[in-house]
Amino acid sequence: MYAGKLVFAQVMEYAPWHTFRRLVAKYRGDFNVRRFSCLNQFLCLSFAQLTYRESLRDIEACLRAQPTKLYHLGLRGNISRSALADANEVRDWRIYAEFAQALIRIARPLYAREPLGVELSETVYALDSTTIGLCLGLFPWAHTRDTRAAVKVHTLLDLRGAIPAFIHISHGKVNDVNVLDLLLPEAGAYYVMDRGYLDFERLFRLHQAGSFFVTRAKSNFHFRRVRSQPVDRSTGLICDQLVELMVFYSHQAFPERLRRIRYRDPEGRPLVFLTNHLSLPAFTICELYRHRWQVELFFKWIKQHLRIKRFLGTSENAVKTQIWIAVAVYVLVAIIRKRLNLPLSLHSMLQILSVTPFEKVSLIQLLTDSAPSEELDLHANQMNLF
């Protein structure tokens, strides 16, 4: 009989707690705190993410139902919804944001050799945002329109392993293209974006940093063709052109030549792509843009399987805290999957962990013994990022 730690405690062992303590000290998260520490807050909200708790009362009831096991979960003292609500209100969300980013730095090398679907050795990122709607009466600070409130989660997703390399949470009014100002371009990397990010001045900064971008042209795109290259029309390609910008201010913002590729997808829709990479095969450019859809699947996945649509507090600090802890839990489970070399999908792991947090069973045994059932779900209508 296994006499070790609880499953939830074993999951939390994979987190770099020395980094967490350093961040708590940096932002004075536990200053003048007697009982309910930042660690307690993180563990409670992580428990809520893993077990699908949707309210403070729900979290309190579930944890108080196992009073003899709270110490073994890592929690100290009594758990109350008022203490958790106060912590969400005042504890600096940057503690959890930087902790999630530390976990991302651990996870990305683990997934660096994941297949991409395109024959490229360089890193490929997909940049996009998702909007989380809020009630204007409860979240007035997130006001976007007359009767609406929302926050945006801007994400730069590494397409090898679906690990977010960069996340920025903003009000719903912030235009997506402004996030390009916050990125630190990586030389040699590919940035795949939709046409909402088409801003030639910002794209030229990527170009000057040695990065490559792939995006779609808008319908009012004006250009002068410099040269055309032959294409294989059987692949759906229509043309591959080297172009210069014709509009004065656009040409000032991006004085270099661009590559324009027209393509007709299998459904017959014409698409026009722009890139600053002048030598990559045209069909590979089209395939890169097709893989941008992974970021849309990522957003859909986290909205379905993480608790980021119903919030445990109404302040901006509480909302950002909950989203960042959700990201931390997602990345932590992804780290465990690689460290233990598990064949399970991330969704299956979360389902198993959601019903076994208080069990005393070896984590690798728990997740490995469940692996054969994965074969039965090959044709299930369930998205799988891994």
d(CA 278, CA 338): 36
**pLDDT value at position 2?**
58
Within the chain, what is the greatest distance between any pair of CA atoms?
75
HSE of 254, CA atoms in CB hemisphere, 13 A = 23
Residue 90 is assigned to a structural domain of this protein: yes
Is the residue at 73 inside a domain?
yes
239, 259 contact by CB (below 8 A): no
Which of 261, 291, 321 is where one domain is finished? 291
Q: What is the mean pLDDT of the chain?
A: 90
Gap between the Cα atoms of 154 and 264, Å rounded: 29
Q: Which pLDDT does position 309 carry in this prediction?
A: 87
pLDDT of 379 above 50: no
Closest CA to 328 of 95, 114, 158: 95
Q: Global pTM?
A: 0.90
Collapsed DSSP state (helix, strand, coil) of residue 357 = coil
**117 lies in a domain?**
no
Detail the DSSP E strand segments found in the chain.
124-134, 149-158, 163-171, 190-193, 212-216, 223-229, 237-245, 258-264, 270-275
* Sequence letter at residue 129: S
When divided into structural domains, the chain yields a total of 2
Are residues 14 and 67 located together in one domain of the fold? yes
For β-strands 258-264 and 270-275, DSSP reports them as antiparallel
Rg (CA), the chain: 23
Q: What is the pLDDT of residue 378?
A: 36
Residue 227 near residue 257 (C-beta atoms within 8 A): no
The answer, yes or no, to whether residue 128 has pLDDT greater than 90, is yes
* pLDDT tens string 3-29: 688 999 999 999 999 999 999 999 999
We report the CATH number of the domain holding residue 269 as 3.30.1370
Say what the alpha-carbon torsion angle 234, 236, 240, 243 is, to the nearest 10 degrees: 160
Q: Is 133 domain-assigned?
A: no
Q: What is the pLDDT of residue 380?
A: 44
Q: Which of 98-102, 138-142, 310-314 holds the top average pLDDT?
A: 98-102
Residues 26 and 78 in one domain: yes
CA atoms within 13 A on the CB side of 220: 3
Q: Which of 236, 260, 291 is the last residue of a domain?
A: 291
Q: List the one residue out of 235, 79, 232, 100 whose CA is nearest residue 168.
A: 100
**Within a domain: 383:** no
Q: How many CA atoms lie within 13 A of 123 on its CB side?
A: 23
Lowest mean pLDDT among 75-84, 87-96, 218-227: 75-84
Residues 279 and 344 in one domain: no
Q: What is residue 147's predicted lDDT score, i.e. its pLDDT?
A: 81
Three-class HEC string of 332-343: HHHHHHHHCCCC
| Band of residue 377 on the pLDDT scale cut at 50, 70, 90 | very low
Token duo for residue 133: 């709607």
Rounded to whole angstroms, what are the CA distances from 151 to 101, 243, 326?
20, 38, 15
Q: Are residues 82 and 15 in the same domain?
A: yes
pLDDT for residue 206: 95
Looking at the fold, whether 263 and 327 belong to one and the same domain comes out as no
**pLDDT value of residue 384:** 55
- Residue 42 to residue 303: CA distance in whole angstroms: 20
Q: Which residue has the tokens 């997808």?
A: 265
Coil, strand or helix: which one is 262?
Answer: strand
- Could you tell me which residue, 18 or 266, shows the higher pLDDT? 18
Percent residues over pLDDT 70 in the chain: 95
Kindly state whether residue 1 falls inside one of the protein's structural domains.
no
Distances (CA, A) of 5 to 1, 13, 328, 358, 362: 12, 10, 21, 9, 8
Residues 255 and 335 in one domain: no
Tens digits of per-residue pLDDT, 245-263?
A: 999 999 999 999 999 999 9
Q: Residue 385 has what pLDDT?
A: 55
SS3 of residue 245 by DSSP: strand
3-state secondary structure of 154: strand
Q: The domain containing residue 73 runs over which residues?
A: 7-96+312-377
170, pLDDT greater than 80: yes
- Nearest to 328, CA basis, from 123, 78, 91, 48: 48
323 and 245 share one domain: no
Q: Over 90: is that where the pLDDT of 119 sits?
A: no
Residues 206, 263 share a domain: yes
In a domain, 151, yes or no: no
Residue 372 has pLDDT above 80, yes or no: no
pLDDT at 337: 94
For residue 238, is it within any domain?
Answer: yes
pLDDT band at 330 (very low <50, low <70, confident <90, very high): very high
In this structure, what token pair is assigned to residue 7? 């499953």
| C-alpha span between 41 and 300 (Å, rounded) | 26
